[in-house]
Structure 1
Amino acid sequence: MPASTQKRAVVLLVLLVVFGAAAVLSFTVGARAISFNTVLTYLTGSENLGQTDAAVLSQRLVRTLWAAMVGAALALAGAGMQGVTRNPLGDPGILGVNAGASFAVVAGITFFSVQSTSAYAAWAFVGAAIASVLVYSLASLGRGGATPVKLALMGAAISAGLGSLTTALILQNQNALDSLRRWQVGTVAGARLEDLTPGAFLLLIGALILLSGAKTINNFALGDDVAASLGENVALKRLLMALAITLLVGTSVALAGPIAFIGLMAPHTVRALVGSDYRALLPLSALFGAVILILADTVGRVILPPQEVQVGVTTVIVGVPVFIYLVRRAKAVNL
């Protein structure tokens, strides 16, 4: 077995162990501490469990599944975005995609009274797509085209503008002000089991498209001309990958609100461990993204008791230093 394959197998094993440990912490840690034995009793379906513990564990089960699903989707979208755009700073939050999806969902709630998760996902998909096109088009203007730093700066500007408009809409919607405000920050609290199925189906479609295109993304890294010479329909494949990324981001925002930096942290950490082969990078990034969001949610429950800190805040606390570090590494890139 090649050394690179062995290394990837080791990283996969470690991530699976860490994922299991994170899930256990998610079940046991919170305002009400629950023992591991009680968790085992719940998971094995035993009836020897108090109603309060059963209710808490039932909610934490859905919350853990929700965090794993959204974290994996955001990390997968971030890794795909970095590969498709050849931009090391690619992240749905940094490039304005989250902000576009968030604004679209809030606009749908405010003006059209949308309520279902599938409707949220549809509006978020459209908003994410429009924001993506807008950021890339504006960053392409001027000398040098859409460089990584120009994309990041334009994404920040678009995010700020759309964030202000989103806040203005939320303030006008008094009936749903509290829930929308919590959702806008990014949270998996209050997750409902009935919303998991439609969300999971949409995320699965996006994930399958992106994972099946791993070889194509590897070819993109060689440049468009080389990719075309290898038989790739560059424009069509890039559009297909972009649609998959937008679907992942839009659905994630619809489920949990705009959560930033996971799409930046997870791929860069995994890339440092296993290299830039997207056949390994994409699935491992998804697994690591799930770990990050589960741990962020768990930490947020206990960091400022008795209140909870939303995962959108805890991921930003960790993500900002990572982003600054990556920007410093990219200082040689021309604006």
Structure 2
Amino acid sequence: MNSSATSHHHQGSHIPKHFTLVLTIGIVLLGVCAVASLLFGARVIRWNELIDGLFNPNIDSFGANVVRKRVSRTIFSLFCGAALGVSGALMQSVTRNPLADPSILGVNTGASLFVVCGIALFNITTANEYIWLALLGAGITAVFVFGIGSMGRGGATPIKLVLAGAATSAALSSLVSAILIPRAYAMDQMRFWQVGSVGSASWSSITTFIPFLLIGILIAVITAPALNALALGDEAASGLGVRTGVLRLVAALGGVILCGAATALAGPIGFIGLLSTHVIRLMLGPDLRYVIPMSALAGAIILTLSDVCGRLIGNTGEVEVGIVTAFIGAPILILLAIKSKVRSL
């Protein structure tokens, strides 16, 4: 423990090696994904149509209009991916568990349940109402999972939190089904939402989302140095003057805001937080001052790329992005679970 504590301490003082390289590659990839998202879909756009759609507002051709439609979708998937990436980094740090992810800790499902209740019982239809319900659901679920995970000997151990999250998630999923099955009209509206999709993005949902994204990322950036100390263990962190209870609460709140808002607008998309944070940790090490902003970049790339892949696989229609991320994420999760038996955070 001491050797890792000292190595963590040294990391605090300098920029991780390869940081500039990883950042440059990340920004280039982000640009490539954004352009691909504008070009590819049920109809492939030509370069001149792309230019018209972006820079010539008075040209009213079919291709240019398709580009304009895809702009909101692209921005939305970049924002959602960034939110889920940062949320994953926060959840992993708070629980000190490398496999923590909003979808594994049941937070996604909690947000889903509240949105489903809103749709089925109160006829809620707007993004603005979805967000508050999803945040409430995500928050209550996070508190519940953490409470159950903290029971018994040893407090909230990483393995107990994942088990509590999985059990809670399963229970809430069946509740979602129970509410939906007798209500056909809610089922239709819900089906698209529940798969996880960025296809229905509109400018109004983006403007609704931005304040939550900014608040969540601000919390993440402010708590990053203290979360680095938390990685040394609660006693060491307390010794360094960190109020661990308050820190966990605030950082978890940031994670819940990001995950809840993204889930409200795009549906429960899993694995992004897990994947992006892991990729970044492998490249840059554990210093959260770098992991958090880079996870935002990685999450945006992964989600946008998955969305483009879903459109290309789907030939005439499209495969929803939630299906694509699960397809990519599940095998990686299995590999990580096997590896992390050897080492935990």
Please confirm whether the aligned pair reaches a TM-score higher than 0.5, indicating the same fold.
yes
Q: Structure 1: which 5+ runs fail to align?
A: none
Alignment-mate amino acid for residue 17 of structure 1: V
Separation in 2 of the partners of 1:142 and 1:226? Answer: 23
Q: Which moved more, 1:197-206 or 1:143-152?
A: 143-152
Separation in 2 of the partners of 1:263 and 1:248? Answer: 11
Aligned counterpart for 1:314 among listed residues 315, 324, 332: 324
Alignment of 1:1-335 (within 5 A): 4-5=15-16, 7-45=18-56, 47-50=58-61, 52-332=62-342
Would the aligned equivalents of 1:139 and 1:145 in 2 still touch at CA under 8 Å?
A: yes
Deviations 1:272-309 (A, max 9, x none): 10111000000001001000010111111121322211
How far apart are residue 48 of structure 1 and its match? Answer: 4.0
What SS class does the counterpart of residue 262 from structure 2 fall into? helix
Would the aligned equivalents of 2:106 and 2:165 in 1 still touch at CA under 8 Å?
A: yes
Separation in 2 of the partners of 1:36 and 1:274? Answer: 36
Alignment-mate amino acid for residue 175 of structure 1: Y
What SS class does the counterpart of residue 100 from structure 2 fall into? coil
Separation in 1 of the partners of 2:140 and 2:134? Answer: 10
Alignment-mate amino acid for residue 47 of structure 1: N
Would the aligned equivalents of 2:95 and 2:161 in 1 still touch at CA under 8 Å?
A: no
How far apart are residue 176 of structure 1 and its match? Answer: 3.4
Separation in 1 of the partners of 2:287 and 2:240? Answer: 17
Separation in 2 of the partners of 1:86 and 1:142? Answer: 18
Separation in 2 of the partners of 1:153 and 1:35? Answer: 49
Count of aligned positions: 332
Q: Which moved more, 1:256-265 or 1:193-202?
A: 193-202
Deviations 1:104-127 (A, max 9, x none): 111122222223222211111111
Note the aligned Cα RMSD (angstroms). Answer: 1.8
Separation in 1 of the partners of 2:17 and 2:336? Answer: 28
How far apart are residue 6 of structure 1 and its match? Answer: 5.2
Q: Which moved more, 1:180-189 or 1:112-121?
A: 112-121
Would the aligned equivalents of 1:211 and 1:282 in 2 still touch at CA under 8 Å?
A: yes
Task: Check 1:176–1:58 CA distance in 2 against 1; reply closer, same or farther (3 A cut).
Answer: farther
Q: Which moved more, 1:95-104 or 1:155-164?
A: 155-164
Would the aligned equivalents of 2:119 and 2:186 in 1 still touch at CA under 8 Å?
A: no
Separation in 1 of the partners of 2:56 and 2:178? Answer: 47
Would the aligned equivalents of 2:54 and 2:67 in 1 still touch at CA under 8 Å?
A: no
What SS class does the counterpart of residue 181 from structure 2 fall into? helix
Alignment-mate amino acid for residue 305 of structure 2: L
2:4 maps to none
How far apart are residue 82 of structure 1 and its match? Answer: 0.7
Task: Check 1:294–1:173 CA distance in 2 against 1; reply closer, same or farther (3 A cut).
Answer: same
Deviations 1:147-196 (A, max 9, x none): 32332232222212211211222233322322211101100112111111
Deviations 1:2-61 (A, max 9, x none): 9845511111110000000001110111110101232122212253451x2132112211
Identity across matched positions, percent: 43
